[in-house]
Amino acid sequence: MTHFDEMRLGGQARPPYDDYQSWFDRQDPKRLLQKAGDAERVFRRTGITFAVYGDTEAAERLIPFDIVPRIISGKEWRRLVQGIEQRVQALNAFLDDIYHRQEILRAGRIPKEIVANNAAFLPEMIGVRPPGGVYTHIIGVDIVRTGENDFFVLEDNARTPSGVSYMLENRETMMQLFPELFQQVKVRPVENYPQLLRESLTAVAPQGRDGSPTIAVLTPGSFNSAYFEHAFLADQMGVELVEGSDLRVVDGHVAMRTTQGYKKIDVLYRRVDDDYLDPLTFKPDSVLGVPGIMDVYRAGNIAIANAPGTGIADDKAIYSYMPEIVEFYTGRKAILQNVETWRCSEPNALAYVLEHLDELVVKEVHGSGGYGMLVGPAASKKERAAFAKKLIARPGNYIAQPTLALSTCPILTSKGLAPRHVDLRPFVLVSDRIQIVPGGLTRVALKKGSLVVNSSQGGGTKDTWVLDD
C-alpha cells in the first residue's frame, strides 16, 4: 500500500509543516535526541503512566512520547469540526430516541434486535431523561486519514473516553522543551480543556439547587489503568476525586464524605462502567459504585456524565449503522464517513469475511484497547484459522473492516525521521452547546509497519497542533 505522508508531499513539506520544517532543518540531531530523553524524564517525574492488566512484569508503564508534532491546518480542522459536531448531535439524539419513542427502530432504519439484544442497552434507562437532555457529555471520536482530504471515523467513544490528560501533558511538555518553536508557529491552545470541562459539567447540573453545583470525579481506584487521568482532571478542575466508598445516598441525594460530614453532589463525572455503578441495580457484588445512585438519578437529583446506557453508542455493530443514524436525525448525509464495515452477524458478510481474513481487520463489537482483534495481513495462517473458529461460533460478536492505508507522521529515531501510522482522538464536550478543543490525542504506532496505535499494544502519543490560520 502507498500511505499518505502528512508532513511531506512530493519531497517537499506540506503547507501545514512549512514553518516546522524550516525550524527542524536548523536543529542539531544530537540536541533533538537529548530533548527526547528529557521528555521521557518529564513524563517519569510527573508519573504519567498507565496500567497493563495481566502484565505482572510491568503493571505500570510509561506511555511513549514522540517529540515531532502532528500538525493540522486550520482549514482541515474546520472541516473535521463540522463533521464531528454533526455526528455528536446524531449520537445524542439516537440515545434519547432508543430510550424513549424508538422512532428509528419503528422506521426500520436499524434492526430492533441490534438494540434489544445489546448488552450495553440498559432497560433501566427507558423513560429516563438526563438533566439538560444530554447523554454524552464527553466524547472521543477516533479519526483516521488516508489522503489529503480523506478522513474517516474509526469508532465512537461515548461511554468513558480516556486520553485527554495525555493530550494536555503532551502540550505542556512540548512547551517546556521547545518554547522558541511556539513563538514561530501559531498553534491553537488546548490547555483550557479542564476549565471548559468544568463549565460544561456545571451547565448540566440539576435545576433548583442553591449556589454553584458541587462536582466530583468518581474513580474505580488507583489500580485502574486510567487512574492518573482521573486524579489529573479532578485536580485541574479543582473538584474532589472520590471512590464509591466515599459516597452514600442521604435524603434522596448522593453525598460525599468530608471532614464536616456528608456534602451533597450535583454532578458526578464517573469513570466507572455501568455494571459497577449501582449494586442495587446492576452487579450486586460491586464495591466501586454507590448503592441507590440510580434511584437518585431517575428522580433528577444528580447528573451523571456520561449518562448510564451510553455504552451502546460505543458498540461497533451500532457504528456500522452510523451513516443511517446521522441522516435520520440530522436530515443530511454524514460529513465524516465510516470505514466500510461488514457485520459478521449477516450470513453473506460472514462468508465474505471468512474468505478474505488475510485482507481484513476483525474486531469484537464490544472490544477496546486493541484487544480481541485480528489484523489479517499481519497474522499467521494458524492465527487466522483459530480466529475463523471464533467467528463461526459467535458471528454476531464481530465486525470486519478493510486494512486501511493509514496516513503516517514522522517520529524521531536515532537515524532521523521515520514514518509511522497515526490516528486522532479529538475530545468533544456537550452541554447546552458543543465544544471541541482544537487538537486531540494523536496515537502513533511506534513499530515499523504496525497499524495498532493503542498504548497497551506498544503505541505512543504525539502533541497535536491545530494551526491558527
Long-range contacts of 104-112 (CB under 8 A, 24+ apart): 104/325, 104/328, 104/329, 107/328, 109/321, 109/324, 109/325, 109/328, 110/318, 110/321, 110/324, 110/325
Secondary structure (DSSP) of 111-150? -HHHHHT-TT--GGGTT---GGG-S-SEEEEEEEEEETTE
Rama region for 370: left / alpha / beta (φ>0; ψ in -120 to 50; rest)? left
Class of CATH domain 207-301 = alpha beta
Cis peptide before 306 (omega within 30 of 0): yes
- pLDDT tens-digit map of 222-271: 888 889 899 999 999 999 999 999 999 999 999 999 999 999 999 999 99
Strand partners, 412: 417
- Is residue 13 within 8 A of residue 134, CB to CB? The reply is no
Assign 69 to helix, strand or coil: strand
Residue 339 has pLDDT above 60, yes or no: yes
As a whole number, mean pLDDT of residues 152-158 equals 94
Strand partners, 114: none
Secondary structure (DSSP) of 157-217? E-SS---HHHHHHHHHHHHHH-HHHHHHS-B---TTHHHHHHHHHHHTSPTT-SSSPPEEE
Query: Which residues contact residue 93 at a Cβ distance below 8 angstroms, ignoring those fewer than 6 apart?
Result: 329, 330
Confidence grade of residue 9 (pLDDT, cut at 50, 70, 90):
confident
Confidence grade of residue 456 (pLDDT, cut at 50, 70, 90):
low
CA distance 111 to 42: 50
CA distance 120 to 116: 9
Average pLDDT, the chain: 92
- Is residue 413 within 8 A of residue 32, CB to CB? The reply is no
- Is residue 362 within 8 A of residue 394, CB to CB? The reply is no
Q: How far is CA 278 from CA 26, 74, 289, 445, in A?
A: 58, 44, 5, 37
CA distance 7 to 424: 15
Residue 84 carries which DSSP code? H
CA distance 97 to 133: 11
Angle at 103 between CA 97 and CA 106, to 5 degrees: 140
Q: Please report the pLDDT score of residue 44 as a whole number.
A: 82
The residue written with cell numbers 536548523 in the block is: 26
Query: What is the dotted CATH code of the domain comprising 340-402?
Result: 3.30.1490.270
- Bridging pattern class, strands 398-402 and 342-343: antiparallel
3-state secondary structure 280-322: CCCCCCCCCCCCCHHHHHHCCCCEEECCCCHHHHHCHHHHCCH
| Alpha helical stretches, state H, 285-413 | 293-298, 316-319, 322-330, 347-355, 381-393
Q: Specify the length of the chain in residues.
A: 469
Which of 312, 399, 323 is CA-nearest to residue 114?
312
As a whole number, mean pLDDT of residues 456-467 equals 88
Residue 201 has pLDDT above 80, yes or no: yes
- pLDDT tens-digit map of 310-336: 999 988 889 999 999 999 999 999 999
Q: Please report the pLDDT score of residue 371 as a whole number.
A: 65
Q: Where are the domains of the chain?
A: 8-206+302-337+405-466, 207-301, 340-402
Q: Please report the pLDDT score of residue 327 as a whole number.
A: 98
Choose between 62 and 466: higher pLDDT.
Answer: 466
As a whole number, mean pLDDT of residues 164-171 equals 95
Per DSSP (E only), the strands in 365-459 are 374-375, 398-402, 408-413, 416-425, 427-430, 434-436, 441-444
Assign 441 to helix, strand or coil: strand
* Residues 296, 301, 306, 308, CA torsion sign: positive
Residue 235 backbone dihedrals phi, psi, to 5 degrees: -65, -45
The residue written with cell numbers 442553591 in the block is: 210
Residue 50 has pLDDT above 90, yes or no: no
Confidence grade of residue 451 (pLDDT, cut at 50, 70, 90):
confident
* Residues 133, 135, 140, 141, CA torsion sign: negative
Lowest mean pLDDT segment, chosen from 41-55, 129-143, 161-175, 430-444:
41-55
- pLDDT tens-digit map of 259-283: 999 999 999 999 999 999 999 999 9
Q: Please report the pLDDT score of residue 149 as a whole number.
A: 92
Confidence grade of residue 367 (pLDDT, cut at 50, 70, 90):
low
Assign 267 to helix, strand or coil: strand
Query: Can you state the angle between helices 164-177 and 29-46, rounded to 10 degrees?
Result: 130
Q: How far does CA 233 lie from the centroid of its chain?
A: 15
